[in-house]
Amino acid sequence: MTVESGISVSDGKLMVAGNCILSDVHQDIVITPVSGDGLINGAFIGVLSDRRGSHRVFPIGKLEGLGTSGKDIPYETQCLIVEGLDATQLSDESEGVLDHSVFYAVFLPILEGDFRAALQGNSNNELEICLESEDPAVDWFKGSHLVFMAVGPDPFDVITDAVKAIEKHLQTFSHRENKKIPDMINWFGWCTWDAFYTDVTAEGVKQGLESFANRLIHIKKNYKFQKNGKEGHRIEDPAMGLAHIVGEIKENHSVKYVFLWHALTGYWSGINPSIAEMEHYESKVIFPVLSPGLQCNKLCEVFNNIAANGVGLVNPEKASIFYDELHSYLASASIDGVKVDAQNLLETLAAGHGGRVKSPDSFMRH
């Protein structure tokens, strides 16, 4: 099998420009060329299978003369770049001396439909594709475009061109060269989370601002901002409220923008469904479930605490209402924007909501 990009699979070997990239390639592996793009030596890697299951692992082949050992590739690898020696060129043809020029191969697992691919190694030193939806009900996939592979002499160009090829294929994102740089990038900024961690207070923010001149600030909203405040309760005191503090910051310290933090689910553990004022969001407590690959990685205590207590997930159909009301309140307090954190948490709550690809889209498109 040879594709337009010069990549071929023959006798169990994946070859690029005379160099073997993978050996012992499995028979169900398929290669699809980059459509209408002759600027990159790359192709998509897919699989032929029954295309059923919400979690599948497919061995591709053994890395041949690249890197060290395939079994060392960790679970959940999102970008793999390996270095190899190009022995196809002769520096002295009369003596047959090989010029071992270096080349680089990059493997980028991508999304296909409702599934997400990742790379990993196995005990046989093989490179594997791990494909999963995170929802038992989402168990059918096409399987033809799971990993994009590109090869070239310059690792930076290879990665850049590979991302551009994926941009053209997926049409779901823009390469940074096509993005407009926001004006606020020209301003000096200060993040109170970095300065105070969980001990952020209104007085601490004021003292920090007085210590230097800045033009952008990012505040973690904290119950300590409120007079006699208690965690989980908001006391409407105009003298100590968010609007008063933001107004004072901008007026007294010449701050141009104030941004606030919130998690994609509202807060780390979502929205409490037992609070009367929150009932119209129809949130339900769901216990996060990690994918097998993530379970093999080191877990943080923050996630362990969230997993033990569950997350109050807003009904995806009510997400637009939730964000509109949350952001309207922040806008009324002269907040200029938000930093949305904990976005990956939705992937662990995807069962029953269409899977890890579809479920976050219900929240992120608003």
pLDDT tens digits for range 310-359:
999 999 999 999 999 999 999 999 999 999 998 889 999 999 889 989 88
pLDDT at 47 over 90: yes
Structure tokens at 103: 């080349």
pLDDT band at 8 (very low <50, low <70, confident <90, very high): confident
Token look-up 């999102």 returns: 78
Both structure tokens of 356: 């890890």
Apex 322 CA angle, 321 and 324, nearest 5: 65
Rg of the Cα trace of the chain? 25
Q: What is the mean pLDDT of residues 189-198?
A: 85
pLDDT at residue 1 greater than cutoff 50: no
Quick check: helix, strand or coil at residue 318?
Answer: helix
In the predicted model, is pLDDT for residue 221 greater than 60?
no
Half-sphere exposure of 334 (CA within 13 A, CB side): 16
Distances in whole angstroms, Cα of residue 219 to Cα of each of 13, 206, 238: 54, 12, 18
Can you read off the two tokens belonging to residue 31? 């290669």
Residue 308 has pLDDT above 80, yes or no: yes
Tokens at 205, concatenated? 């923010």
Per domain, the residue ranges of the chain are 7-178, 183-364
Percent of the chain past pLDDT 90, that is, above it, reads: 45
Q: What span, in angstroms and rounded, lies between the C-alpha atoms of 236 and 51?
A: 55
Digit-coded pLDDT (tens) for 91-119: 555 555 545 588 889 999 999 999 999 99
Write out the E strands in 76-163.
80-86, 90-92, 97-98, 101-109, 111-112, 115-121, 126-132, 147-152
Average pLDDT of the residues in 270-295: 92
Half-sphere exposure of 248 (CA within 13 A, CB side): 15
- The pLDDT score that the predictor gives to residue 224 is 44
- Across the range 138-167, mean pLDDT stands at 94
Contacts of 141 (CB under 8 A, 6+ apart): 51, 56, 112, 113, 114, 115, 131, 133
| Model confidence at 166: pLDDT above 80 | yes
Q: What contacts 24+ positions apart, CB below 8 Å, involve 322-330? A: 322/266, 322/271, 322/281, 323/366, 324/366, 326/262, 326/266, 330/242, 330/260
Pick the CATH number of 183-364 from 3.20.20.70, 3.40.50.300, 3.30.530.20, 3.30.450.70: 3.20.20.70
What does the pLDDT average to over 187-191? 84
pLDDT band at 366 (very low <50, low <70, confident <90, very high): low
User: Cα torsion at 289, 292, 293, 297 (round to 10°)?
Assistant: 70
The per-residue pLDDT for range 59-88, each reduced to its tens digit, is 999 987 666 677 889 999 999 998 887 766
Phi and psi torsions of 61, nearest 5° = 175, 180
Residue for token pair 């609070």? 275
pLDDT band at 49 (very low <50, low <70, confident <90, very high): confident
Amino acid identity for residue 55 in this structure: H
Which pLDDT does position 2 carry in this prediction? 42
Place of tokens 């109050």: 312
Chain centroid to Cα 86, Å, comes to 33
Whether the per-residue pLDDT at 232 is higher than 80: the answer is no
Task: Please say whether the dihedral angle defined by the alpha carbons of residues 11, 15, 18 and 23, taken in this order, is positive or negative.
Answer: negative
Amino acid identity, residue 172?
T
> Who has greater pLDDT, 35 or 257?
257
Most confident of 209-218, 273-282, 352-361: 273-282
Mean pLDDT, the chain, whole residue set: 84
Give how far the C-alpha of residue 235 lies from the chain's centroid of Cα atoms, to the nearest Å.
36
Tokens 């509109």: give the residue: 324
Enter the tokens of residue 84: 């190899």
Confidence (pLDDT) at 344:
87
Strand partners, 259: 218, 337
